Every structure is written in structure tokens, then in C-alpha cells.
């Protein structure tokens, strides 16, 4: 029998590939559910602490990216120095103001996956914690106000504002 070479990193043409974002969301939901089912509220708090630490670490990396570009780690440079590419699985509009940035997501693969799985409860452990943590790691004076969520509002809204800047309300 002759040896047959197969490229193992190729998805069959007739199959829809699963993105890393989808896999991450699914993995997170399953892990969070197991921890919460096993340890209750203490488990939920532990998951949120883990997400917070992960977010702060990411924010510190984003600050380094801004610094490497010769920029201050303020609200104007936060999103443009971000560490995660936006695929077409995310859709957002960013509006820059003096001292703050508003961001409105109309599509989010994480929220979509959590909803498909019926695991919004566990997804919220991530969604409510990650962006405030990233902003804090980027600059402790950058506050994240997360008013609307996909699970209740079919969109996510964020305001990233430097402390001392007026808070904005999303419509």
C-alpha cells in the first residue's frame, strides 16, 4: 500500500470551520458551568476572579502596545492598541469623544455561542468581568461602563472613560 499524504490542518471543503472564538466561548461555558455546579456561588466568584486576572493581564499588554507605538494609555489609544483582531464574527461601532469612547456591538460570537448553548448564565461571568478588567489593566483610571448586554438587550454597549470624565448614557 502506498503512503498517502493528507494535510491535517485543512478543513474538508464541505464542512464549515469552527472559529477559535467559537471554541473559546464553548470551552469557557463548559468550564464555568462545571465550577459553578460543583462549588456554587464560591465557584462563580472564583471564575470571575480568573477572568479578572486574565483581563488585567491583557490590558497590561495593550498598554505596552500603545507605549510601543509612542502613544499614551488613554481612552483615545485603547481600542486602536487592542490585542484581539476583530473578525466578521464581531460587529461594532466606536465613537470617540473627549476623554471617552463609546462602543456598541451589534454582533458578538461569544454571546451568540453562549446563547446557542443555553449557557448565558455562565457567559455572563465572562461578559460582565472581562472588559472592566482589560480597561483596568490598560490604565487603572480607565473605567468601563457596560450598560446593555446581548442576553437582555440584543446588543452590548460600552463606555470606556477616563476617571473624571462625565459618564455617558447610551440610547
Within a domain: 55: yes
Could you give the 3-state DSSP secondary structure of residue 137? helix
Q: How many structural domains compose the chain?
A: 1
Within a domain: 13: no
Predicted pLDDT at 170? 41
CA dihedral 109, 111, 146, 54 (to 10 degrees): -70
Q: What is the mean pLDDT of residues 94-116?
A: 95
Q: Is the pLDDT of residue 17 over 80?
A: no
Q: What is the pLDDT of residues 41-97, one digit of tens each?
A: 999 999 999 999 999 999 999 999 999 999 999 999 999 999 988 788 999 999 999
Within a domain: 32: yes
Within a domain: 14: no
Predicted pLDDT at 121? 96
Q: Determine which helix (DSSP H) or strand (DSSP E) holds 27, and give its type and residue range.
A: helix 20-68
Domain span at 42: 20-162
Strand partners, 93: 104
Could you give the 3-state DSSP secondary structure of residue 138? helix
Within a domain: 15: no
For CA atoms 117, 120, 125, 128, the dihedral sign is: positive
Predicted pLDDT at 1? 55
For CA atoms 51, 57, 61, 63, the dihedral sign is: positive
Within a domain: 10: no
Looking at residue 72, which CATH number applies to its domain?
3.30.1380
Amino acid at each position: 500500500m502506498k503512503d498517502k499524504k493528507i494535510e491535517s490542518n485543512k478543513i474538508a471543503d464541505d464542512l464549515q470551520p469552527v472559529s477559535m472564538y467559537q471554541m473559546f466561548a464553548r470551552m469557557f461555558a463548559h468550564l464555568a458551568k462545571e465550577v459553578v455546579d460543583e462549588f456554587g456561588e464560591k465557584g462563580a466568584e472564583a471564575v470571575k476572579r480568573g477572568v479578572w486576572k486574565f483581563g488585567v493581564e491583557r490590558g497590561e499588554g495593550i498598554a505596552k502596545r500603545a507605549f510601543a507605538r509612542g502613544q499614551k494609555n488613554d481612552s483615545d489609544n485603547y481600542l486602536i492598541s487592542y490585542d484581539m483582531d476583530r473578525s466578521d464574527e464581531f460587529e461594532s461601532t466606536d465613537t470617540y469623544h473627549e476623554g471617552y469612547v463609546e462602543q456598541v456591538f451589534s454582533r458578538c460570537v461569544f454571546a451568540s455561542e453562549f446563547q446557542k448553548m443555553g449557557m448565558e448564565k455562565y457567559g455572563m461571568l465572562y461578559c460582565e468581568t472581562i472588559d472592566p478588567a482589560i480597561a483596568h489593566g490598560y490604565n487603572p483610571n480607565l473605567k468601563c461602563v457596560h450598560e446593555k448586554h446581548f442576553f437582555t438587550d440584543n446588543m452590548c454597549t460600552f463606555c470606556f472613560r477616563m476617571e473624571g470624565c462625565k459618564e455617558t448614557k447610551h440610547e
